[in-house]
A = this chain, B = another copy of it.
Amino acid sequence: MVVIMQPGVGESEISGVVEAIQSYGMDAHISRGKERTIIGIIGDERKVDFDSIASLTGVERAMPILKPYKYVARDVTTRDKIIEVGGVKIGQELVFVAGPCSVEEEDTTLRIAEEVKLAGAQFFRAGAYKPRTSPWSFQGLREKGLAILSKVREKTGLPIITEVIDAADINVVGEATDIYQVGMRNMRNYTLLAELGKTGKPVLLKRGDSAKIEEWLAAADYIYRNGNENIILCERGIRTFEDYTRNTLDLNAVAAARNESSLPVFVDPSHGTGRGELVRPMSLAAVAAGASGLLLEVHFDPQKAWSDGKQTVTPAVLKKIITDCRRVAGVA
């Protein structure tokens, strides 16, 4: 941490800061400039309460130097993390996860799964638990949906990615899924993250729609430090003033997360745009920016999808996206 003192402070304010730093068992380094005095902390500042230091008399600003995460940082684990699920090496080969927004009736869901498999998808996705803004909207088939997902896996052989929305559901969801999905609403549900950390099963962690990149990586650290290194990051758009698209897909964050951490980064262009016609160009752009995989909402009849029809594409479009993305990946 760097503590910048106000202009003209006296020795008593300076020693107040030094003592506060020492009370955490750390050392301070004083640097007296003509205009300001600057105090640095020597040691791991993460133990120090940032706000308390910032509130000391005579302090103008206190700025952290260390990042709020440690384990998932690129400088700790330099090699790209590879996670193998059902024979697919996530983080090494380009991965396509496809399926409808919600689990639908068994025959529909199965038909979609077969068609996305044929189109080249390696994973099947569909939500059994659907967190929805309004309590008046469809909330998912829940347990019944999980049973359908298990059938899909059995019949198609596709491994499953589905969302878990509460720590109490981890076991029951775990029986149906190969990878837990944490949705953007739960990125800061630290109880859920910590409990998922204890399972060892891979977790796909979506970025919150108001989360900074650093906060997203810190959320991953909640999983990692509880013992689970199998984490996939997933960018799905942030909330901004732009309302032409459902969210603003932040591909800067993909390139940045690849630099800052060793984890694979997926992109969800369906939620990231909210518009079917933008899914293909943004899929290509995601791969060009460094994404290791894509989450795509696919349905053989998007207009009859139970939710998110507007951003859903057909298996035929999926096939074209997969072909083109593989070519782009060859360049990127």
User: A residues touching B (Cβ–Cβ < 8 Å)?
Assistant: 2, 4, 7, 20, 27, 29, 31-36, 38, 40-44, 46-47, 49, 51-57, 61, 63, 65-66, 68-70, 75, 131-138, 165-168, 185-186, 188-192, 208-210, 212-215, 218, 221-222, 225, 238-245, 248-256, 258-259, 272-273, 275-278, 281-282, 284-290, 302-312, 324, 327-328, 331-332
Contact = CB atoms under 8 A, between A and B. Distances in A.
Contact of A241 (B53, B57, B239, B249): B239
A135 B218 contact: yes
B249 A251 contact: yes
Given A248-B238, A289-B284, A310-B54, A221 B135 contact: yes
Contacts of A75: 7
Contact of A244 (B34, B212, B245, B307): B212
A288 B165 CA distance: 34
Q: Which of A51, A190, A277, A307 has the most C-beta atoms of chain B within 10 angstroms of its own C-beta?
A: A51
Q: Identify the interface centre among A38, A289, A302: most chain B CB within 10 Å of its CB.
A: A289
A69 B288 contact: no
A167 B189 CA distance: 11
Contacts of A253: 242, 244-245
29 contacts: A20-B303, A33-B42, A35-B44, A35-B66, A46-B136, A51-B305, A51-B311, A52-B306, A52-B309, A55-B310, A56-B303, A69-B136, A136-B221, A165-B190, A166-B191, A168-B191, A189-B189, A210-B210, A239-B241, A242-B253, A244-B253, A248-B250, A249-B251, A252-B272, A255-B278, A255-B281, A258-B281, A281-B290, A285-B286
Contact of A38 (B40, B47, B66): B40
Contacts of A27: 34
Contact of A303 (B2, B52, B70): B52
Given A63-B63, A251-B282, A289-B281, A131 B188 contact: yes
A284 B288 CA distance: 5
Contact of A308 (B51, B57, B243): B51
Given A285-B289, A303-B57, A40 B51 contact: no
B285 A251 contact: yes
